[in-house]
Structure 1
Amino acid sequence: MSRLRSLSVALKLPLLIIAIAMGCLGVAGAISYEVSLAQLMQEVSFRLAAVRDTRAALLEDWFDDKLEALGDIAKQAHTIEAASSFLSTYESLGPEANDYLRLHYIDENPNPPEARDTMEEATDTTAYSLFHKKFHAAFRNDVEALHLRDLLIVSAAGEVIYSVRKQENFATSLGETGGALGSAVRAALAEGTEFGFGDFAAEPALDGRVAGFLASPLTNEWGDVTAALVFELDEADVSAILAMPSALTATTRIALIGQDQTPRGTGSLSEETGALGDAAPDNPAITAALSGESGVTELALPDGESLAAFQPVRLGPPDAPGGTTWALLAAEPSEVIAAGPRAMLGKLIRAAVPALIVALLVAVLAARNIARPLGRLTAAVGEVAAGHYDGEIPAQKRGDEIGRIACALDALRRDLRQSRDDLQSGASTRAEMQSAQASVVEALQTALSRLAEGDLGSTIAQGFPEDYERLRNDFNRATDRLQQAMIDVSQSAEAINHDVDHIAQASEELGQRTERQAATVEETAAALDQLTASVSEAAKNAAEVDSIVGKAREDAQASGEVVRETIEAIAVIEASFQRISGNIKVIDDIAFQTNLLALNAGVEAARAGDAGLGFAVVASEFRMLAQRCSEAAREINTQITASSDHVQDGVRLVGRTGGALKEIIDSIRTIADRVTAIADSAREQSTGLSELNSAVSELDMTTQKNAAMFEQTSAASSDLRSAAQGLRQNVGRFTLGSRAESWTAGDTATEKAASRHAASA
């Protein structure tokens, strides 16, 4: 810094101009870079947000279309019939059903694996094959129309009983896990759900191939859930949506992440997600999207900084069980975004070099125009500083700052020359002024010494020179006013002393009365508190009695309801007995007719002779059987008649019991109303006493505070009296001179004021 200060203006000025030019160019470049980068970041943010919103909407629409199609197909009568048919025929195949179906539809299928669905009927003649031929074509058309990987029917027991494509998961048991397919089926078959979704994952039953499943429950004609209709979704659909070229650049990266923090989709773009998907657990944007948030942010990823737009993709209706949420992320590397502003900054730097050269030439010329006049002006300043006031100051005719400095230096030179002449002529005048000043100081010193000793009547009687006469008058007037002020202070101190005595006495008496009043209020508050507690306890007991009576009323009402139901049940029993009596009459008639027919058969058998002996024996047995049935029917009728009489007696008794219970319920209701009224009255009394108790307690506290305040007032009056006495003693140390009569008059006024206070007391 010292070297910089020691440089000449001819060198400083060019350096300063170059520094300013470079600073301005640097600031302009930095501002241009920041503005262009911010604008470009905003444009990229809008573009990434558009990519994010478009892809998220397409994915949600894709899932909703599949879900709607699944619901429509599941409700079709064709589908319900197919599920019932496949389920019944599958169960008819027995424990080896899965092996049987895999043998005929996979192992012995003449078509390659990708064309197994073209076989509509197996070579066997089972009912399953017939139903397969009936429904397979329609399901295959649905798979092709909806662009599905497969369509399956899974029983409630977890058995894959039908598949369009006949993949490796056909005719298998899902077990407890079953991968994504098992998750979808279990969610769909759970109570209260309309669908189940098994998110895309490596499926063990499909040799590790990634698959996703969407399932819907299937019901039979009685409304029971018996199976699940399952769509195997094609991950290529998701990849196609992500790979749409709209609003994408060669460097834009898209990632679709599931709840398991793994990527979804296998398109070319999603394969190049890099750190977007590979570092999903450490990616705050993906974590925020999976929790339902959306926005645009800057991310620090392992492969560099990126600007990313994130949004949740909600699969299924909001808050519907069975759905899930994916995280969609569209990102652009920050290096790519900043490439344009950096190129512009390079062009600006290259264009600034010629400008700096021109600025350097201008600075050199300006330095020469300023440094030479400044050098001559510096020499003139040195002459003036050395006391040479007769020389001319150069550059006074210039109109710039150098000219104004030269003019100011010339005026300073003339003033210094005039001051030198005045100093030489005023030496004698200063000697006279010093003599007069010494006498004035001596007189002031004497008067101030007396004043410091407490003599307020001290004045300066001798006259001062004309220039100092006002000082003597001001001193004398100040001592007079100070003397009068001290007299007034002494009189006021005496009056304050008498007033404070009376105030202290009154405060002490009022404090004693207030203490007695506080004690009385405190006793009243204690009595009210006890009364409030007693009334509150009574209100509480009344409320408990009210609750007990209410419960008794409810129990009595419930007992009445039980009696009513008992009467109804006995009436039903009586009607049943009547119907049984009718049926017994019918049995009796049948026995009579049977007996008659047996008699006729015996007569005919007798006519037939030996050939009818066997028939006669049978007829005899029939007659005996008919007679026993008739006797049993009469006995049962007799018992039912007796039971009916007993039931009627029971009805009468139960009716009387119901009447008695009704009277008891009415009495309990009346008691409950009276107890409720008593409880309400006690509660209101308790509330009123509580409010009164609170008011008295507050009055007690206020009275106690007033008593304490009066004690403080008495103490303050005592302190004020001591202070007034001290003030009077301090004033007594001053000598008031010729105004002693004023002091006496002040004592008389004080005594008059004291007498007035005594009279008023």
Structure 2
Amino acid sequence: MALLRNLSVALKLPALMIAIAIGCLGMAGAIAYKVSHAQLIQEVSFRLGMLAETRATMIEDWFHETRSELGEKAAEPLVIDAATAFLSTYKTLGDDANAHLRRAYIDDNPNPADARADLEEAADNTAYSLFHKKFHADLRARVEALGLRDLLIVSAAGDVIYSVQKQEEFASNVAEDEGGLGTALRAALAPDAAFGFGDFAPTEARARAYLAAPLHNEWGDTIAALVFEVDDQALTHLTTMETGRTPTTELELLAGDHTRRSHLGLGGVQSAIGTQGTPNPAFDAALEGQRGVVDITLSDGRSYTAAYHPLNIAGRNWALIAAEPAEVIAAGPRALLERLLRGTAIALIAALALAWLAARNLARPLARIANAMGQVAAGDYESEIPAQRRGDEIGRIARALEALRRDLRQSRDDLKDGATTRAAMQSAQSDVVETLQTALARLAEGDLGASIAQEFPEDYERLRTDFNRATDRLQQAMLDVTQSAGAINDDVDHIAQASEDLGQRTERQAATVEETAAALDQLTASVTEAAKNAAEVDGIVGKAREDAQVSGEVVRQTIEAIGVIEASFQQISNNIKVIDDIAFQTNLLALNAGVEAARAGDAGLGFAVVASEVRLLAQRSSEAAREINTLITSSSEHVQTGVRLVGRTGGALKEIIASIRIIAERVTAIADSAREQSTGLSELNSAVGELDMTTQKNAAMFEQTSAASSELRRTAQGLRQNIERFKLRGEADGWAPDEGEWTGEEEPHSPELTDAPDLRAG
């Protein structure tokens, strides 16, 4: 920048103009290049997209037309009749029918391999050959009309029983074939199938695809399959035709497994159908059903702008790419850029010449103006500035400089005329300064009555007036300060006396508060202890209530147990009655047995003895039962008496529990009240403590106030002494400096201090 500032205008202007021209032309060229490149990319993208869409539609239409032709031919009576005839005569050839047909139509065919279709009837004198001669010409005509490679009829068992071209598939079984023919056949013969498709696969340098449709007899049964064999010529023609493409446009067709369906790939690669294609993101997107335009870069570094489009071939996803090399697309903008550069160079040369002429037209008058201004700077105010008649900025500069030259010349003349006036002004100013210096010296010595009576010149009269007014106001202020100092002195005395009295009362109040706090501490401790004892009594009463409740439960359980015992006694009594009845019956039986034994005589003696013993035992059992019954009856009466006593005990316990509950409630209320009293006394104790601290602080503050009052008294006395050093024109009316007292009629102190309340009253 320093170098640019130091250059002359003659060099600076051409340089700036050339720089501006280069910048503008460069920017315009860059914009033109980018716009043309973007427009070309847009045009190429649109063209490639239309090309890809058109070719994809043509390929799909070709496939659908071929499929439609297959369906129509499969429904023709001629084809069905031919299939029926070939099937019936094929079976008459026996188990080696395939070998026989291959020998008759392939091995013994007099025509070359690519002309085997010329043989209409073999020399084997079979019914198959007769029907072959009947239908072969019509079927061959259909193959040629449709542009097919071959037409085949395949039995439901998978045997190729007829072929127009008699190639290697003829007279062979393809039921288990994994190639395109077997795949198409199995799909067509599946239940409810309309057709089958076997995709292209390379076979000895040629690729074939198969479309198969089922053949039905008049009863609707599937008897065979009609198969179209198509080669890659149609796809090759559709992908290489020149319509809608430039010589540099490249097309590639891929199947879902990324194998080629066109011989030409990106980069002009020539390869067989079925080989692996060129992997890139465009193919992946198209196989996913997407369409669009994208920039791709192959593995070898070549870049393309590619349009991709999906295809649906027999329910399978194919992808078509139409691509233009990036270097071909960039060739047009590069040529435009070269033309722009050449035009820019010519424009810069012309701009340089124009800039030199313009700079020369500006630099010369500027140089003359600069020389004239140099003369003015040297003190020559008489030479006029040149170029004043120009209408441009240079003329305006020249006219402005001319006006400046005239003003400088006038200023020089004015300076000469004002020298005398300036000398007179300096003399008057010296007199004013001397008078003002004398007055200021008196004022500095403390003479506030110093004023300037001599009038100043008109320009300085305001200064004299302001000085006199300032001294008057200062003197009045000192008089006011003198009176205020006396008033302050009296007020300080009253404040000091009031502070001393208030401090004494505060000390007495602090002692009283301290005693009250001590008494509250003792009372708080007593109430806290009472609350603690009440809480303990509450706990004891609660424990007694719980024990009484447990005892009541025990009494209830005892009553229930005695009831169970009473029921058991009743059951035992019933059982003993049964035993007594049994003993009575046994006694009767023993008596009857003794009677019968006596009737029996000697034979019944032993039995009579036993009956007698049994009778004795029965009597003893009856007596024991009666004794037990008597004891049980007595025990039952005792148990009933115990039940009554326990019931009365339970009732007494219930009354005790109720009384204990009432006592517990009363004790709980007493404990709660004691706790509340303890809490309230604690808060009151805290408040009294804070009041004690506040009273102590107030006492300390009153001591500080007394000290401050003493200091303020000393300050007022010092202020009075300082004021006495000044000389006033008249002393203040109410102030006696020698005695230091106020002699006016009004009291100087504040009534708020004399009427302050007595703190001891509180």
Q: TM-score, normalised by structure 1?
A: 0.49
Q: Which has the higher helix share?
A: 1
Larger Rg: 2
